């Protein structure tokens, strides 16, 4: 019964992602370069401190890109590895631990594998120990042709945990241009990792009252990561990749700085529970299409689970036969985004669970008034959110995808 229920849920999800509109296959055969930026949050996009933009390069790129202003990270305890897993597999991470560490040998429908089968050269790039988060094993299982880890890079810019992002991007581009095209490249940055301790010589912002605080240092690290991103774009243009590559950039998770007073001081206003929850869970998403079309700010709710089916849509690869749970950003219809905590939004309502996880003790917000509303309005979507999380957990832990595929009619 359960197998049939799963199969029918995924059938419906697949149908709702499928739309043969003018973006479907519009970028067929393009290279895809995804950058997952460490601790890159949404609240400081477009903002300044001491008269300086924190992310000038991202802000500039936004003008010729699609920017999703209500994009959520959907991570749990597996942090960076969860962001990676959810984005590539379009499934939720687990309630405890990391899928990369716990179930690397189970079967998932993941973007690198799918693109490899479509003729893409696939590679992951991260200048840290390959064993961290069990990446070496997991990336093999995910179908990457190559994983460039710390041992493949010249340590010519030492910053924080490892190689600085500027050098990381420069060297990764060198690897990429040597690859056959089309390629799928997945890059994970590291310089903006906690505790954000950039040497003074690299700090460029005047963070005023935040100087030498964790929050001020975080802004400095993001400013550096943004400068590195600017150099990556320049490098792509120089190397002739800009006009045949989809660039997809997003943040992996929050910065672990939870004191509300920092955000109130930075934004210059008091923040509600809803504001604070959104700040801690929203990361930016930017998509630059090879022809620069469709640029603008998109405020539909979206999340990391949406990456694989959305990129597949642009490349003309239908995602309906795959066991994916995310939305297609390029299909019409309502969007529902579920966070690992059980929080969710459909763009109209926003639910924040309570620490005891009792539905009635959570808060249901109306996003139009941004005030609390009758908890009952959140009950049906809460049931749906709970079901999705449970279904995803069972699929991952029980390694159900091969079994479901066996019985499925070809779609």
What is the largest distance, in Å, between two alpha-carbon atoms of the chain?
62
Residues that bind ligand GP9 (CB under 6 A): 79-80, 126, 128, 132, 188, 190, 193
**Dist. CA 229–CA 218, nearest whole Å:** 16
Least gap, CB of 206 to ligand GP9 (angstroms): 27
| Rounded Cα distance, 298 and 305, in Å | 17
Which lies closer to ligand GP9 via its Cβ, residue 21 or residue 77? 77
Residue closer to ligand GP9 by CB (options 232, 312) is: 232
Nearer to ligand GP9, 150 or 405 (CB): 150
Query: Using CB atoms, what's the residue nearest to ligand GP9?
Result: 79
Nearer to ligand GP9, 26 or 190 (CB): 190
Sequence-separated contacts (24+) of 310-314 with Cβ below 8 Å: 311/32, 311/34, 311/111, 311/246, 311/248, 312/111, 312/114, 313/17, 313/19, 313/23, 313/24, 314/23, 314/24, 314/25, 314/26, 314/27, 314/30, 314/246, 314/289
Q: Are 324 and 313 in contact (CB under 8 A)?
A: no
Task: Kindly list the strands in the beta sheet with 285-288, ordered across the sheet, starting from the edge strand earlier in the chain.
Answer: 146-148, 121-125, 183-188, 31-37, 245-251, 285-288, 66-68, 296-298
Q: Which two tokens stand for residue 124?
A: 């992951």
What DSSP assignment string belongs to 249-303? EEE-S--S---HHHHHHHHTS---HHHHHHHHHB--EEEE-TT-TT-EEE-S-EE
207 labelled catalytic:
no
Which residue in 23, 55, 75, 80 is the catalytic one?
80
Burial of 175 (0-12, 13-18, 19+ CB in 10 A): middle
CB of 292 to ligand GP9, least distance (A): 31
Which among 68, 108, 114, 105 has a CA at the least distance from the CA of 92? 108
CB of 149 to ligand GP9, least distance (A): 9
Q: Which residues, 6+ apart, have CB-to-CB distance to 353 below 8 Å? A: 341, 342, 343, 359, 362
Q: Which is nearer to ligand GP9, 79 or 388 (CB)?
A: 79
Nearer to ligand GP9, 136 or 300 (CB): 136
Measured from the CB atom, the residue of 73 and 203 that comes closer to ligand GP9 is 73
Closest distance of CB 54 from ligand GP9, Å: 20
Best CA proximity match to 293, nearest among 1, 22, 14: 22
Cβ at position 188, least distance to ligand GP9 in Å: 6
Shortest reach from residue 351's CB to ligand GP9, in Å: 26
Q: Which residues are catalytic?
A: 80
């Amino acid at each position: 019964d359960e197998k049939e229920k799963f199969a029918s849920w995924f059938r419906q999800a697949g149908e709702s992602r499928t739309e043969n509109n003018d973006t479907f296959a519009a970028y067929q055969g393009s290279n895809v370069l995804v950058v997952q930026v460490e601790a890159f949050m949404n609240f400081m996009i477009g903002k300044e401190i001491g008269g300086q933009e924190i992310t000038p390069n991202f802000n500039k790129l936004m003008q010729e890109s699609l920017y999703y202003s209500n994009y959520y990270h959907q991570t749990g305890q597996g942090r960076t590895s969860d962001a990676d897993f959810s984005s590539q597999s379009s499934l939720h991470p687990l309630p405890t631990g990391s899928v990369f560490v716990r179930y690397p040998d189970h079967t998932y429908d993941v973007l690198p594998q799918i693109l490899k089968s479509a003729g893409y050269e696939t590679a992951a790039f991260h200048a840290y120990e390959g064993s961290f988060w069990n990446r070496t094993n997991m990336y093999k299982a995910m179908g990457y042709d190559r994983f460039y880890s710390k041992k493949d890079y010249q340590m010519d810019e030492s910053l924080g945990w490892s190689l600085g992002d500027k050098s990381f991007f420069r060297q990764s581009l060198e690897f990429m241009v040597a690859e056959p095209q089309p390629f799928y490249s997945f890059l994970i940055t590291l310089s903006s990792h906690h505790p954000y301790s950039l040497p003074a010589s690299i700090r460029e912002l005047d963070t005023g009252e935040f100087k030498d605080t964790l929050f001020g240092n975080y802004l400095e690290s993001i400013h550096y990561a943004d400068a590195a991103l600017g150099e990556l774009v320049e490098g792509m243009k120089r190397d002739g990749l800009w006009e045949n590559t989809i660039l997809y950039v997003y943040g992996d998770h929050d910065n672990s700085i939870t004191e509300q007073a920092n955000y109130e001081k930075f934004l210059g206003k008091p923040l509600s529970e809803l504001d604070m929850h959104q700040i801690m869970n929203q990361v930016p998403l930017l998509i630059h299409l090879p022809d620069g079309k469709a640029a603008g700010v998109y405020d539909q709710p979206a999340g990391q689970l949406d990456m694989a089916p959305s990129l597949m849509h642009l490349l003309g690869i239908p995602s309906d036969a795959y066991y994916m749970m995310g939305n297609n950003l390029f299909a019409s219809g309502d969007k529902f985004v579920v966070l690992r905590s059980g929080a969710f939004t459909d763009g109209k309502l926003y639910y924040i669970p309570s620490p005891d996880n009792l539905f009635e003790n959570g808060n249901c917000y109306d996003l139009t008034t941004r005030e609390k509303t009758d908890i009952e309005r959140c009950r049906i979507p809460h049931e749906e959110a709970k079901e999705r999380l449970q279904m995803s957990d069972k699929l991952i832990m029980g390694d159900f995808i091969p079994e479901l595929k066996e019985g499925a009619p070809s779609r």
